Chains A and B, each alone.
Chain A
């Protein structure tokens, strides 16, 4: 260790209690930040993945304006050929066409308004987890058969079982009366309350007949291999669309604006909380370093008189802070990382997590995951603000006059 480093280090331990208390404040905040940030971002990822996987998908090709109004006649023409063209051009199976309508579904005993989707039974399993979540019966397997798959809650509300018939009444694309009788072949349980209560899926071919779609549909779902590649894929898909049909690609945050905004709202309140913590630590550092500078006025006077430049003393103070900050960062990241990783393996739950989880598609046991970013981002900010806070005491040294400084006790 060179002399300056050694000097700074020894200065820190002239008042071990004070140094530990200041470092303690950093460690406390850092542990909290590491845990909270890991938990938060793990939660967001789950929220997004669970919400998108189930049904929405990463992006959808739609008619211009459909995303806002969801009107029956805002259609994508010749949707099956389009989907198949995209599949071959993207060299991916994760492309599937859908059409949708609202209908009154009636069983023997009950009637409910539902959203009925026409899907491509071959490709739907590649873009949605619903086909894999059929708990009773089977998923659709033909493109024309009068079959339907419904959610668990809807099945309960309608009092139907696999093999029962449902009558769907609605209006077709042109506003005319549309009706069909279909057999329930499967009941799915996605765990997402909204889907399980309101959604039914039938073969797209049947749907197009019943609702007078004339080969059109409403959305082509396209999934990217990873969430991070959505933007890039969106560009590619947009480039592949036929020019003159007014089609657009909507990515997941446009499709589910609530999801992104819920996350944003949560992030902003979290940022407020983190900022307060960081500022409190900065105050602690400011206090400690200012005191440590004032105590050493006499001693600083001597070295200034010996010809040392005030700037070097200022750097010494900054170096002391940096050392303290490094201890805080390392200890905080270490303890925070260990605690979080342990909770990540064990999983933990909070009171009320069941209800909150159901609302946001989260499991009732949370497993925060520690990443480099979640481990270091909080502590790094604390470190930075600590340095910033000690700038004032460091700059004060420039105002010292050697003789006066030496005279002071």
Chain B
């Protein structure tokens, strides 16, 4: 058995290189196909990953807790029923990677020249540093220093449109739970930049305590945000958070809050599989063709081997092994090529020419390809399994040759 396998392998390998031109062409096709599978997958996964990470850092967190009506109506009246202290008592010792309470409500920010609608975030800067999309140290001026900071931090782009700058005063307007207008002047203490330009226009940060006073909500907040380890697997965090809160609040996973992104993640996972299969199918015609030609050329020697007492299964095995060798060689080179082309790009591909288009899709203007082990495994497995089935038909035909006819065939 082992012996037979050994000779089949040897025959397959030598036969593979008999018509080296044909093998090299086919190998070239396999290499390009495999490279394209993995390269495209890495780009796609990189884009999805960026989108999700950006979006999660803007939410922020993987799991959030709100008043049941808040997600539909993000208003200051829909406060969490628990005071901050009670929340902190429960969450403090639960061992989350990071968690924070915050106020997030719509507001209008005005300079002396312009007004814009914004999302006001009342935060405790220390608690959110790990999950925020803002790199505190890269903020022009300074970021908030604590929950009772009296300043406001806005995006660079917003500062431009409002024609304001560091040190200037802006007026923030929102409503309190009784729908009385709450407004207050703030000094701009910091300007942040974000990967996604829209964030620079949308979000403004102020101290949580300051905002609570402004909006007259005492020690209440609108949201609890919790960060887990892996955005693809939020269930453990979700279960833990659910156990910590009472009925009467809603615990949501990020993909429930941002359904577009949740869908994107699923769609793109599906797209990757479809892409890999499509490429394989395009390859399979050439593969089957190559095998058919190889079998056709070797009718007589296949007949000879059968006449000498090799079983038909040996012939079948030989052709299948030959095909698998071709694929494995192609896969190896293709994988290496993909790795070699993706590695240098991992520091990011600048696609800012289509920045606003990417922003529309929810992605940043620098694309970081992501070479994921499981995607590489997927591509390779699909090629090997489908390749095996594609080579069965020519191999089966070869094994059905009648030895006597095959040997006496003139050509």
Residues of chain A at the chain B interface (Cβ within 8 Å): 15, 17-18, 21-22, 24-25, 28-29, 32, 69-73, 101-104, 106-115, 156-157, 169-171, 175, 198, 257-265, 268-269, 272-273, 276-277, 279-281, 283-284, 286-288, 290-291, 294, 350-352, 354-356, 358-360
A287 near B22 (CB under 8 angstroms)? yes
CA–CA, A102 and B171, complex, Å: 14
Task: For B23, give the chain A residue with the smallest CB separation.
Answer: A287
Minimum CB–CB distance from B168 to chain A (whole Å) comes to 13
Stretch at the interface among B81-89, B229-237, B300-308, B358-366: B358-366
A-B contact sample (20 more), CB < 8 A, given A103-B115, A112-B106: A70-B161, A104-B181, A108-B179, A110-B77, A111-B179, A113-B115, A171-B110, A175-B112, A258-B356, A258-B357, A262-B356, A263-B357, A283-B25, A287-B286, A290-B22, A350-B267, A355-B259, A356-B263, A356-B264, A359-B360
Contact of B113 among A72, A106, A108, A355 (CB under 8 A): A72
Does B373 have its Cβ within 8 Å of any Cβ on chain A?
no
Taking CB atoms, residues of chain B closer than 8 Å to A355 are 259-260, 262-264
- Complex interface residues of chain B between 42 and 57 (CB less than 8 A to chain A): 43
B28 near A102 (CB under 8 angstroms)? no
Taking CB atoms, residues of chain A closer than 8 Å to B214 are none
A171 near B114 (CB under 8 angstroms)? yes
Contact of A112 among B32, B112, B114, B117 (CB under 8 A): B117
Taking CB atoms, residues of chain A closer than 8 Å to B351 are 265
Task: Return the CB mask of B178-194 against A: 1 if under 8 Å, else 0.
Answer: 01010000000000000
A352 near B264 (CB under 8 angstroms)? yes
- Complex interface residues of chain B between 165 and 185 (CB less than 8 A to chain A): 173-175, 179, 181
A290 near B21 (CB under 8 angstroms)? yes
Minimum CB–CB distance from A106 to chain B (whole Å) comes to 7
Q: Describe B's contact surface by its main secondary structure.
A: helix
B117 near A29 (CB under 8 angstroms)? no
Minimum CB–CB distance from B276 to chain A (whole Å) comes to 12
Taking CB atoms, residues of chain A closer than 8 Å to B355 are 261
Minimum CB–CB distance from B184 to chain A (whole Å) comes to 13
Chain B interface residue count, Cβ-Cβ cutoff 8 angstroms = 67
CA–CA, A356 and B259, complex, Å: 10
B357 near A260 (CB under 8 angstroms)? yes
Contact of A111 among B175, B292, B296, B358 (CB under 8 A): B175
Contact of A356 among B21, B108, B267, B286 (CB under 8 A): B267
Taking CB atoms, residues of chain B closer than 8 Å to A283 are 25-26, 28-29, 32, 286
Task: Return the CB mask of B9-44 against A: 1 if under 8 Å, else 0.
Answer: 000000000010110011011001100100010010
Does B409 have its Cβ within 8 Å of any Cβ on chain A?
no
Minimum CB–CB distance from A65 to chain B (whole Å) comes to 12
Taking CB atoms, residues of chain B closer than 8 Å to A24 are 285
- Complex interface residues of chain B between 344 and 401 (CB less than 8 A to chain A): 351, 353-362
CA–CA, A262 and B175, complex, Å: 36
B290 near A287 (CB under 8 angstroms)? yes
CA–CA, A269 and B268, complex, Å: 13
CA–CA, A263 and B360, complex, Å: 10
Taking CB atoms, residues of chain B closer than 8 Å to A156 are 73
Minimum CB–CB distance from B263 to chain A (whole Å) comes to 4
Minimum CB–CB distance from A402 to chain B (whole Å) comes to 21
Contact of A21 with B36 at beta-carbon distance under 8 Å, contacts A111-B174, A111-B179 already known: no
B263 near A352 (CB under 8 angstroms)? yes
B290 near A28 (CB under 8 angstroms)? no
Contact of A280 with B358 at beta-carbon distance under 8 Å, contacts A24-B285, A106-B181 already known: no
Contact of B36 among A71, A198, A276 (CB under 8 A): A276
Does B217 have its Cβ within 8 Å of any Cβ on chain A?
no
A261 near B293 (CB under 8 angstroms)? no
Does B116 have its Cβ within 8 Å of any Cβ on chain A?
yes
Does B219 have its Cβ within 8 Å of any Cβ on chain A?
no
* Complex A-B, nearest 10 residue pairs according to Cβ-Cβ distance, in ascending order: A261-B357, A113-B117, A25-B285, A262-B357, A283-B29, A258-B360, A111-B175, A261-B354, A113-B108, A258-B356
Minimum CB–CB distance from B266 to chain A (whole Å) comes to 6
Does B289 have its Cβ within 8 Å of any Cβ on chain A?
yes
CA–CA, A171 and B108, complex, Å: 11
A18 near B359 (CB under 8 angstroms)? no
Taking CB atoms, residues of chain B closer than 8 Å to A272 are 36, 40
Does B275 have its Cβ within 8 Å of any Cβ on chain A?
yes
Taking CB atoms, residues of chain A closer than 8 Å to B115 are 101-104, 113, 170-171
Does B270 have its Cβ within 8 Å of any Cβ on chain A?
yes
A264 near B175 (CB under 8 angstroms)? no
CA–CA, A293 and B267, complex, Å: 45
Task: List, sorted by A's number, 6 A–B pairs whose CB atoms are closer than 8 Å.
Answer: A21-B292, A24-B285, A113-B106, A264-B353, A272-B40, A287-B29
Task: For B175, give the chain A residue with the smallest CB separation.
Answer: A111
Taking CB atoms, residues of chain B closer than 8 Å to A112 are 106, 117
B359 near A258 (CB under 8 angstroms)? yes
A280 near B279 (CB under 8 angstroms)? yes
Taking CB atoms, residues of chain B closer than 8 Å to A198 are 117
B289 near A287 (CB under 8 angstroms)? yes
Task: For B288, give the chain A residue with the smallest CB separation.
Answer: A21
Taking CB atoms, residues of chain B closer than 8 Å to A32 are 278
A113 near B293 (CB under 8 angstroms)? no
CA–CA, A276 and B259, complex, Å: 32
A73 near B113 (CB under 8 angstroms)? yes
Taking CB atoms, residues of chain B closer than 8 Å to A175 are 112-113
Contact of A106 among B175, B288, B353 (CB under 8 A): B175
Contact of A280 with B289 at beta-carbon distance under 8 Å, contacts A110-B179, A171-B115, A355-B260 already known: no
B117 near A114 (CB under 8 angstroms)? yes
Contact of A281 with B282 at beta-carbon distance under 8 Å, contacts A110-B75, A352-B264 already known: yes
Task: Return the CB mask of B68-86 against A: 1 if under 8 Å, else 0.
Answer: 0000010101000000000
Does B283 have its Cβ within 8 Å of any Cβ on chain A?
yes
- Complex interface residues of chain B between 99 and 137 (CB less than 8 A to chain A): 106-108, 110, 112-118
Residue of A104, A279, A290, A358 ringed by the most chain B CB atoms within 10 A: A104
B358 near A262 (CB under 8 angstroms)? yes
A273 near B275 (CB under 8 angstroms)? yes
CA–CA, A104 and B110, complex, Å: 10
Minimum CB–CB distance from A113 to chain B (whole Å) comes to 3
Minimum CB–CB distance from A182 to chain B (whole Å) comes to 17
Taking CB atoms, residues of chain B closer than 8 Å to A358 are 260
Taking CB atoms, residues of chain A closer than 8 Å to B29 are 280, 283-284, 287
Taking CB atoms, residues of chain B closer than 8 Å to A72 are 113-114
A28 near B275 (CB under 8 angstroms)? no
Does B246 have its Cβ within 8 Å of any Cβ on chain A?
no
Minimum CB–CB distance from B357 to chain A (whole Å) comes to 3
B282 near A25 (CB under 8 angstroms)? yes
Does B160 have its Cβ within 8 Å of any Cβ on chain A?
yes
CA–CA, A25 and B288, complex, Å: 11
B161 near A71 (CB under 8 angstroms)? yes
Taking CB atoms, residues of chain A closer than 8 Å to B19 are 291
Contact of A261 with B114 at beta-carbon distance under 8 Å, contacts A17-B292, A28-B285 already known: no
Does B405 have its Cβ within 8 Å of any Cβ on chain A?
no
Task: For B351, give the chain A residue with the smallest CB separation.
Answer: A265
Contact of A110 with B113 at beta-carbon distance under 8 Å, contacts A21-B288, A28-B281 already known: no
Taking CB atoms, residues of chain A closer than 8 Å to B106 are 111-113
B263 near A286 (CB under 8 angstroms)? no
Does B163 have its Cβ within 8 Å of any Cβ on chain A?
yes
Taking CB atoms, residues of chain A closer than 8 Å to B161 are 69-71
